[in-house]
């Protein structure tokens, strides 16, 4: 049976309150543990999870499963969905199980918390007691990504021939015989330096930047 008290202290270290989406993340983590027959939260790096949105939901998954960005056992695939795919990297690294809320979960919550003061409070209470089959959907999946490529190898480093920055975890790419980081290779660069000219960023000294009015 799900017990929110098991996780309360960890949740409140990250948030000033507990919400329905955190509970969904916790319930998904527990269901994944039951599916794989694993005791969670894990103390090693056997379980890997892809979360499909950030925010409080992802924290719930992290706390229940023991997966995190810091331990390189969690990755954000930002689809804007309250969903997660869990992978047992030891037994079947190319396969996983995807879990998401049942489309009727919110409607069903009302029947489990009839005296709640709002739909939000009904969901918070109901998601703790609803049977997993009424709350969640679960589906085995095959990964379109290589877990070996994601996990990489420790100690592997390269230097980008364009920007000179170090690249770890084998994320470099080769272009016409040159080793480049993905930003310099044009693969989804998410920033442009304000002093950038002709495609090359000019570094700014920290002291100069802090002194800028």
- DSSP element (H, E) containing 13: helix 8-14
DSSP lists the bridge partners of residue 48 as: 87
Helices (H), 15-98: 20-36, 56-65
Is the omega angle on the peptide bond into residue 41 within 30 degrees of 0, that is, cis?
Answer: yes
Residues contacting residue 22 through CB under 8 Å, at least 6 positions apart: 11, 15, 56, 57, 59, 60
CATH domain 4-150 topology: 60s Ribosomal Protein L30; Chain: A; (3.30.1330)
**162 against 199, higher pLDDT:** 162
Q: What is the pLDDT of residue 174?
A: 94
Query: What tokens were used for 88?
Result: 């047992």
Boundaries of every domain in the chain: 4-150, 152-213
Report the candidate in 40, 94, 49 with the shortest Cα–Cα distance to residue 74: 49
The predicted-structure confidence for 62-113, as pLDDT tens digits, reads as follows: 999 999 999 999 999 999 999 999 999 999 889 999 999 999 999 999 999 9
How much is the average pLDDT of 143-172?
94
Which pLDDT score is estimated for 212?
54
Nearest to 28 by CA among 78, 70, 96, 84: 84
DSSP label at residue 174: E
Structure tokens at 6: 């098991």
- What's the predicted TM-score (pTM) here? 0.88
Is the distance from CB of 158 to CB of 167 less than 8 angstroms?
Answer: yes
Distance of CA 120 to the CA centre of its chain: 24
Q: Give the tens place of pLDDT for each residue, 110-123.
A: 999 999 999 999 99
According to DSSP, the residues that pair with 138 across neighbouring strands are 99
Average pLDDT on 44-48 reads: 97
């Amino acid at each position: 049976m799900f017990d929110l008290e098991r996780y309360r202290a960890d949740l409140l270290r990250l948030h000033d309150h507990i919400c329905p989406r955190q509970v969904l993340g916790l319930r998904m983590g527990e269901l994944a543990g039951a599916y794989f027959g694993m005791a969670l939260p894990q103390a090693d790096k056997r379980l890997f999870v892809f979360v499909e949105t950030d925010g409080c939901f992802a924290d719930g998954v992290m706390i229940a499963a023991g997966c995190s960005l810091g331990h390189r056992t969690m990755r954000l695939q930002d689809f804007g969905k309250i969903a997660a795919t869990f992978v047992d990297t030891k037994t079947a690294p190319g396969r996983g199980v995807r879990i998401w809320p049942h489309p009727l979960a919110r409607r069903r919550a009302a029947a489990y918390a009839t005296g709640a003061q709002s739909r939000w409070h009904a969901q918070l209470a109901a998601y703790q007691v609803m049977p997993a089959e009424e709350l969640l959907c679960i589906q085995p999946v095959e990964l379109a990504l290589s877990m070996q490529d994601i996990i990489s190898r420790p100690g592997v480093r390269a230097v980008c021939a364009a920007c000179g920055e170090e690249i770890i975890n084998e994320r470099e790419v080769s272009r016409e015989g040159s080793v480049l980081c993905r930003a310099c290779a044009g693969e989804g660069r998410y920033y442009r330096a304000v002093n950038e000219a002709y495609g090359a960023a000019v570094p700014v000294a920290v002291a100069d930047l802090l002194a800028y009015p």
